[in-house]
Amino acid sequence: MSVLVYTESENGKLKKSAFEVASYAKAVADQLGSSVTAISFNATSNDELGTYGVSKVLNVTDDKLATFNALAYANSIAQAAKNENIQVIIVSSSTNSKFLAPILAAKLKAGYVPNVVAAPESASPFTVKRTTFSNKGFAHTEITTETKIIGVSNNSFGLKENATTAAVEAFNADLSDADFSVKSIEIDKVAGQVTIADADIVVSGGRGLKGPENWGMIEDLAEVLGAATACSKPVSDMGWRPHGEHVGQTGKPVAANLYIAIGISGAIQHLAGVSSSKTKVVINSDPEAPFFKAADYGIVGDAFEVVPKLIEKLKEF
Ligand code: FAD
């Protein structure tokens, strides 16, 4: 039973999540006594996948697929899976993968489980631990369909080196105009910023920061840490920050290694989207703020005093 992994890239460079899903796929393949084939789209760094146990890479070189297109990507992966006689597909739990995987599942009549947060279980890699109820609990879910799709949460399994040589082949699926019936015409992206989905560290601000004019210190802290910036829902609703920074149940999910919440109360809807993060640090002037109950580390204090001192100290390293 061969394992196929969809490895995401940006501007030709594989994302960190690509190596994490490859590591996960290798663990599944080892249990099955099988090998890992990756499918990437216009990536130029495919040979790096060998470090994480991928022995073959199908690199899609079609220019029409230079930018993400859920239907066309899903069709390409489905064709690759059929050609390679694949029954297990591993993807990340990014927004794009969550868009693509249900289409792929419908095409292959596969069972799909997203948000998997633990290593494959020793009894069967197809009984997986995933988050549920907006990250307030875990479910152990079994996939019994012949073809299976597993979506792995970012920063949950980690990178596991398993050096082999990846043979890279060009692969282009047979696509029709119908596959491009919905497509992005133009994508506006703020240059030079770390995106929330790919960030190891996220620095997030809430209403406690009083106004958009005070976000300089959030950006400075993020810059020192190489982090992405985020915010609570009211902050983006009031237009203090762009909507793309809104995290939580109705915003972007965060599964960072470190999440720093500044002036955020820790409402249940906020926590629902950020509690998968490994370490949560809370800075809040109210010792009764609910976020402290979910925090690994907390600083009770005025953000306007604490954050500048933190930046100063971090700059010394
Ligand atoms: P507040 O609750 O006003 O908290 C501000 C905090 O700042 C307080 O704890 C205060 O003690 C602290 N503070 C004040 N001054 C300082 C200072 N000088 N220094 C340090 N701390 C200070 N919210 C989300 O964030 N994401 C979501 O996805 C989301 N989805 C929602 C969906 C629904 C259906 C609903 C009903 C609500 C949703 N909300 C969401 C809103 C959520 O319920 C809260 O209202 C919101 O998270 C509160 O934002 P906040 O913590 O920034 O503001």
Cα separations (Å) of 115 from 101, 151, 249, 254? 12, 6, 14, 12
The pTM assigned to this predicted structure is 0.84
For the CA of 265, the closest atom of ligand 1 is 9
| Local confidence pLDDT in tens for the 317 residues of the chain | 789 999 999 889 999 999 999 999 999 999 999 999 999 999 999 999 999 999 999 999 999 999 999 999 999 999 999 999 999 999 999 989 999 999 999 999 999 999 999 999 888 999 999 999 877 889 999 999 999 999 999 889 999 999 899 999 999 999 999 999 998 888 777 656 778 888 899 999 999 999 999 999 999 999 999 999 999 999 999 999 999 999 999 999 898 999 999 999 999 999 999 998 999 999 999 999 999 999 999 999 999 999 999 999 999 98
Q: Choose which residue among 243, 250, 254 to substitute to test ligand 1 binding: the one with the highest number of ligand atoms within 8 A of its C-beta.
A: 250
Whole-number Å distance, alpha carbon 207 to ligand 1 midpoint, is 6
Q: Look at residue 187 in the predicted model and tell me its pLDDT.
A: 77
ipTM of this predicted complex? 0.99
For the CA of 205, the closest atom of ligand 1 is 52
72 lines ligand 1 (CB under 6 A): no
Q: Look at residue 192 in the predicted model and tell me its pLDDT.
A: 61
Q: Are strands 2-7 and 86-92 parallel, antiparallel or unpaired?
A: parallel
Residues 47, 16 contacting (CB under 8 angstroms): no
For the CA of 273, the closest atom of ligand 1 is 28
Residues 222, 229 contacting (CB under 8 angstroms): yes
Whole-number Å distance, alpha carbon 266 to ligand 1 midpoint, is 6
Amino acid at 20: E
Q: Look at residue 190 in the predicted model and tell me its pLDDT.
A: 67
Q: What are the backbone dihedrals phi and psi of residue 68, each rounded to the nearest 5 degrees, phi first? A: -60, 135
Q: Is 247 exposed, middle or buried (0-12, 13-18, 19+ CB in 10 A)?
A: buried
Alpha-carbon distance of 198 to 227, in angstroms, equals: 10
Alpha-carbon distance of 28 to 238, in angstroms, equals: 45
304 lines ligand 1 (CB under 6 A): yes
Candidates 156, 159, 119, 160; CA nearest to 257 is 156
- Angle 10-18-6 from CA coordinates, rounded to 5°: 95
207 lines ligand 1 (CB under 6 A): yes
For ligand 1, atom 35, the nearest C-alpha belongs to 269
Whole-number Å distance, alpha carbon 268 to ligand 1 midpoint, is 9
214 lines ligand 1 (CB under 6 A): no
Positive or negative: CA dihedral 20, 25, 31, 33: negative
Q: Look at residue 96 in the predicted model and tell me its pLDDT.
A: 93
Whole-number Å distance, alpha carbon 44 to ligand 1 midpoint, is 42
300 lines ligand 1 (CB under 6 A): no
The H-assigned helical ranges of 130-232 are: 216-225
Whole-number Å distance, alpha carbon 93 to ligand 1 midpoint, is 26
206 lines ligand 1 (CB under 6 A): yes
Q: Choose which residue among 209, 210, 233 to substitute to test ligand 1 binding: the one with the highest number of ligand atoms within 8 A of its C-beta.
A: 233
For ligand 1, atom 52, the nearest C-alpha belongs to 206
